[in-house]
Structure 1
Amino acid sequence: MAVHLFTEWSKSPGHLDHWERTGREQGEECGLPNLGQTCYLSAVLQCLYHTLPLTHYLISQAFKEDVVKRSPSRGQVVQAAADILTEMDRGKPKKGTLAYFKGVCGRMDDLFAGSGQREAHDLLSSFLTWVHQDLSSSRNACKKCGLEPERRSTISDIFEGIHRATIICPESGAIICSIHERFWSLSLPLNNPGETPLEDALQQYYHTRAIKWYCHYCRREHLCHRQMHILFLPKVLILHLNRYNIKGSDPKLNWVTFPTEELTLDGHLTPGQKGRPWSKFSLYSICNHHGNKKRGHYTACCRSNHPQHVQTPWLFFDDEEVRPIERFKNPRDAHILFYIGVSQVQQESRQTCLASGGMGLQ
């Protein structure tokens, strides 16, 4: 049995500098059994398992103090997730535990019942919502933007960002109003065939749009400009690469190139707004989709759970199969990207490791 060093997430909210290594025995990185077209489930679970702040919170059983007994699932989703992630952490996931997790998801939404293939991003979005409901508690309104109070949880603390949409009158240049919206992931439409840099997809997502709006300056409805920026960055950034937004488009004809280190969203922040303690994001997991919208197969690529991120290998997960990736390259079938915020201190540490001969990722 291999000894892995598990990186503990800082218990102080929003603080990413404090990564505490705790030595404990774990099983080898493991795959998950296919219960019959459940590759989408396995790929999402691998990405969630490698989301260290979430995994530590669940397998440490810290979540039990936060469970809301009157949630829609009565705490069953978060408990089922903790059970399967704990068994994955020990290197011995049981088919029955995975089947129970799938059954709980199926009871929450008929879409995930039965043995049919499902969309991984749909499952991920639903899962985060259900666990948020299982753990949510009342909090105050956002101090930065005055956004209405909403029930908060560890899920929202990890994955939530806030957008500010500003409606501008093009005739007077005056700001008509500002709207704040929470998000847990960004779904980026890929409209053009060929290779698309991730930054281009983000630029397209955040570009100024023309919408009809009632302007109280002009006292009439007319085309206005809608500008959207990020007011509040999430700790973990999920990017969904949506290749199926145009009828008749072939997803194999468009793919995205993306950085594994130092992804920055500074250009999309609200003007004058500084980010959190981290300024860049580091890739740690990818959910891949091979095939087309009607049929296909899901796999995952994830960084091993070691504290020395640069020196650890990437692993490829295909249901029960697990194999190391010696030279990581952008998979053309990438479907969902998982990035984690990295502080300036961690960036400098990684650069030093690379310069001293650490394993580079292409």
Structure 2
Amino acid sequence: MGAACCRKSVAENERLMSEKLKEINEEEKTEVISPTRTSKGYISLVNNFKNPKKEKKAISGIGGFENLGKTCYINAVLQCLCNTNPLADYFLSGLFKEEMCFQNRDNSSAELIYAFAEIIRTQWKANYDCIVPKHFVEIVQKNTQFAQEEEHDVHEFLTFFMGKMNELLNRANTNSSSPVPECNGDTDEHQAAQAWHDHLKSTSSVIVDLFHGQLKSTLKCTQCDQISQNFEPFMSISLPISANKGTSLKQCLKDFTKNESLEQSWFCSKCNKQVTATKSYSIWKVPPILIFQLKRFHFTPEIQEKIKTDIGFPLKSLDLAEYVAGPQKTPPKYDLYAVVNHSGKLTEGHYFTYSKNKNDQRWYKFDDDMVEEMSEDAVESNKAYLLFYYNATPKEFFRQSRTLPQFWPHVLTSEVSPPPIMKRPQTLNISSIVDKQNKRRNSEDIMECLNPPSFSFSGVSAESWAGVDKTGAEGEILFKKLLR
């Protein structure tokens, strides 16, 4: 594909983009698959990476991004996130405006989110050959971490930007309370549930819903066999690479989860001294979107090098079952949809992206403003640095909530009680709901149960919890009054 748009001046491009967006303000060029919504917020985001109906749609979402001076790392991340379809739908539907949290936030963060939303809208609705992300880049470069005219690591920028989105779109109400789900008979399960519950207490956003998972780390004393376990959230997994001639993603995962020896570096409370221990990681909760960083850059005091090992990775049906410790509700099988590649040397390289378009299901190479279709066979290369996978099994990705652990992706073996206001729906006590609302109960308890999706959890169905019709006009009016 050409990039005629980029041959004009930046000012001219911005003017044309602005005019084009005004033209499509009323007329939608790309169908937006709306999240499953209530009167406020959403329950789930549709898993629409595939086009199951094989509909013939106009090809959109394949515009390049102009390089504004060593900004290939920004362009590579933008292409991957624009092609993360549930996230794109979230922004295209305008939900981000409802969930923006301005309390104790700087204006530049909000400006960055709006600039990103404009880029997504331009990419999927204006059908440009090339987009000039000048406003977005200028805001990013206000941060000294990403100063102008310097090379930067794409994973570092991805982590920074996702953190900014998570911060500004955070819907967590730290003043509210909700019970931790009981997991009798399984210490690991209860500890993991407590850790995830605490994580959601401080951070709950579309970034958490789509990208956050949970790792289990285990430390074991080699002298007394005492074990210490910890459960921690993650947004991406960094995988070690051996310097062999060739390896695979599965081998990298095996190396990530194998025991590592820690020489005299862990204090054992039972032995009451520093001891040699082993440390290992396993995945407890898999997120809908799973990002792998292949650690190609090796830094030591003596040497700095780039590892150019060939790494084989599947484009479809990546089975993570043997690397996942916690039982999952759906098979952890993932399909690839985007790759960030790095070419050149460690200190002066270049980033570009391969991504799969949701409309025509074809792969494209995005190298700044240059875009071209490519074959699946060419996706796998020794330049791959970041791999973006999505869980291909579920039809929708549920919102993560402390009050509704039945929507968590991993299985809780014991029955979790429904939120207090939903325990006896057949005899709904309006006065008790009002009392709870006056006591500043978490509004998620009401909001997320207005129209629950079908599910079965520990023998309790959504339908039995929602015996009272809250989706009709009278129910909507009632709950809107309660939420004021």
TM-score of Structure 1 vs Structure 2, range by shorter chain? 0.7 to 0.9
The question of 1:341 aligning with 2:391 is answered yes
Deviations 1:285-315 (A, max 9, x none): 0011111221121111111123xxxx72111
Q: Deviations over 1:103-161 (max 9, x none)?
A: 11122x21323132321111111000001011012256875431133221111111101
Give identity over the alignment, percent. Answer: 24
Q: How does 1:168-183 map to 2 (within 5 A)?
A: 168-175=220-227, 177-183=228-234
- Say if 1:141 and 1:150, in contact at 8 Å, map to a contact too: no
Return the alpha-carbon distance in structure 2 between the equivalents of residues 302 and 94 of structure 1.
16
How do 1:208-357 residues align onto structure 2 when only pairs under 5 Å count? 208-211=259-262, 212-247=265-300, 248=303, 250-251=305-306, 253-270=308-325, 273-306=326-359, 312-329=361-378, 330-343=380-393
Structure 1 partner of 2:217:
165
Check 1:318–1:19 CA distance in 2 against 1; reply closer, same or farther (3 A cut): closer
The runs of 5 or more residues in structure 1 that have no matched partner are 347-362
Check the 8 A contact 1:14/1:235 in 2, yes or no.
no
Taking a change above 3 Å as real, the CA distance of residues 93 and 127 of structure 1, as seen in their structure-2 partners, is farther
Q: Which moved more, 1:137-146 or 1:162-171?
A: 137-146
Match of 1:83 among 101, 112, 118: 118
- Partners of 1:36 and 1:243 lie apart in 2 by 24
Structure-2 residue corresponding to 1:358: none
**TM-score between both structures, scaled by the size of structure 2:** 0.63
Match of 1:152 in 2: 204
Confirm or deny that 1:35 pairs with 2:68.
yes
More helix by share: 2
SS for the counterpart of 2:172 is coil
Question: For 1:102, which of 97, 112, 137 is the aligned residue?
Answer: 137
Residues 1:161 and 1:55: Cα distance change in structure 2 (over 3 Å): same
Q: Which has the higher strand share?
A: 1
Offset of 1:277 from its aligned partner?
2.3
Higher mean displacement: 12-21 or 275-284: 12-21
Kindly provide the CA deviation profile for residues 250-282 of structure 1, in whole angstroms up to 9, marking residues without a partner as x. Answer: 536413111111112221222xx2124242111
Judged with a 3 Å threshold, the aligned counterparts in structure 2 of structure 1 residues 145 and 227 are, in CA distance, closer, same or farther, namely farther
CA deviation profile, 1:316-354 (whole Å, cap 9, x unmatched): 1111111111343312211110000111789xxxxxxxx
Q: Does the Cα contact within 8 Å between 1:289 and 1:334 map onto a contact in 2?
A: yes
Deviation at 1:186, TM superposition (A): 1.1
Contact 2:239 2:293 in 1 (8 A): yes
Structure 2 Cα separation of the partners of residues 30 and 265 of structure 1 = 33
Q: Is the 8 A contact 2:50 2:361 kept in 1?
A: no
CA contact 1:167–1:224 (8 Å) conserved in 2: yes
Deviation digits for residues 185-219 of structure 1 (CA, Å, limit 9, x no counterpart): 11123231421111111111111122332222223
Q: Does the CA contact (< 8 Å) of 1:4 and 1:23 recur in 2?
A: no
Greater Cα radius of gyration, structure 1 or 2: 2
1:47 to 80, 84, 94: 80
**Residue 91 of structure 2: aligned partner:** 58
Task: Determine the C-alpha separation between the residues in 1 that align with 2:299 and 2:49.
Answer: 44
Aligned counterpart, 1:124 = 158
Question: Matched residues in 1 for 2:253 and 2:91: separation?
Answer: 32
Please give the secondary structure, in 2, of the residue aligned with 1:245.
strand
Shift in alpha-carbon separation, 1:288–1:180, aligned structure 2, 3 A:
same
Structure 2 matches for 1:172-211, cutoff 5 A?
A: 172-175=224-227, 177-211=228-262
Q: How many residues align?
A: 337
Q: Secondary structure at the match of 1:35?
A: coil
Partner residue, 1:356? none
Amino acid at match of 2:352: T
Cα 1:209–1:336 change in 2 (3 A) is same
CA distance in 2: counterparts of 1:228 and 1:302, whole angstroms: 29
Cα distance 1:290–1:152, how it changes in 2: closer, same or farther (>3 A)? same
Cα-to-partner distance string for 1:222-266 (whole Å, 9 max, x where unaligned): 112222211111110101111112454653641311111111222
Deviation digits for residues 152-184 of structure 1 (CA, Å, limit 9, x no counterpart): 111111110111112223333332x21111110
Tell me, in whole angstroms, the C-alpha distance in 1 between the residues paired with 2:162 and 2:179.
Answer: 21
Change (3 A) 1:110 1:214: same
Q: Give ranges in structure 2 of 5+ residues lacking alignment.
A: 1-28, 37-41, 182-191, 397-484
TM-score with structure 1 setting the length: 0.83
The answer to whether the 8 Å contact 2:335/2:390 transfers is yes
Deviates more, 1:159-168 or 1:21-30: 21-30
1:319 and 1:127, CA in 2 relative to 1: closer, same or farther beyond 3 A? same
**Relative to structure 1, is the Cα distance of residues 28 and 138 closer, same or farther in structure 2, using a 3 angstrom cutoff?**
closer
Change (3 A) 1:119 1:110: same
- 1:30-76 Cα offsets, whole Å, 9 max, x none, are 11112122221111111111111111111221110100113244522
SS at match of 1:312: coil
Residues 308 and 382, structure 2, Cα contact 8 Å, conserved in 1: no
CA contact (8 A) 2:288 2:391 kept: yes
CA contact 2:343–2:383 (8 Å) conserved in 1: yes
Q: 2:101 aligns with which of 48, 62, 68?
A: 68
